[in-house]
Amino acid sequence: MALLSVEDLSFAYRDREILSRVSFPVDTGEVLGLVGPNGCGKTTLIRCVDGMLTPGSGRVLLHGRDLRDMHRRDIARAMAYVPQSAGNQTASTVFETVLMGRRPYLNWTVSPADEEKVVEALAILDLGGLALRKIRELSGGERQRVMIARALVQETGVVLLDEPTSNLDIRHQMAVMEVLSGLADERGLAVVIALHDLNLAATYCHRLLVMKAGEVYGYGEPEEVLTPDMIERVYGIEAVVKQDLPAPYVVPVRPGQLREGA
């Protein structure tokens, strides 16, 4: 049984259908990448999986249990969510913000064990030197890493991330993906991550779910899914996909350039 299963999930805003019969499993230790153009439904899908939005039909299963039958606190202990952007107006420190990830487990006091978990997460995301800084004083990339650290201290089996690398430079993009990939492997996490960068997705994701106009266009290993035909049909551009590297590598080309070079 998959750790997380999405079955025939559909969602609409009033009369506008956003998602249509989306299904996929995510196993223990797996990193699943959600890819597709802007507006294809990636963010809405993640919010439906997390329970922030209520699907019109279909269901989400955690360990075989329907999300609709679970209390919000139990969901927070099983699944963490990292939004696309982190707020920057709070007066909280980095340490305090990450500590909020322990809320599903806290009663009236914070234990030394809770604080140790925060220190560990800050070290993993290279944030130890910023622990006492205010969130509003940080760059967008630093705030994004803080939100990932907050998700890690929730100690959930499933982590959902909506474009967590969008504000990061290439070094920190790879560092974050290394962390997520390593934790999936070491702790058996099921990681679902929406990404725009197809090459980053191909390098770090075990499988890709390609979305187009709210539907699943393709699903499988990067070598199977990332083809010039898929990229043209889904993104509307021409591209070369190199298969002679450790992972597929997508090279976009200018319109007509491939025909000119033929």
Does position 88 have pLDDT exceeding 60, yes or no? Answer: no
Average pLDDT value for residue range 131-142: 89
H or E stretch covering 62 = strand 57-62
User: What is the DSSP pairing of strand 31-35 with strand 190-194?
Assistant: parallel
Whole-model pTM: value is: 0.91
Q: What is the pLDDT of residue 46?
A: 96
pLDDT digits (tens, 9 = 90+) for 29-73: 999 999 999 999 999 999 999 999 999 999 999 988 999 999 888
Q: Which of 3-17, 113-127, 206-220, 248-262 has the lowest mean pLDDT?
A: 248-262
Q: Residue 175 to residues 29, 94, 178: CA-CA distances in angstroms?
A: 18, 19, 5
Measured between alpha carbons, how far is 136 from 89 in angstroms, rounded to an integer? 5
H or E stretch covering 16 = strand 16-26
Average pLDDT value for residue range 109-132: 91
% of residues, the chain, pLDDT over 90: 67
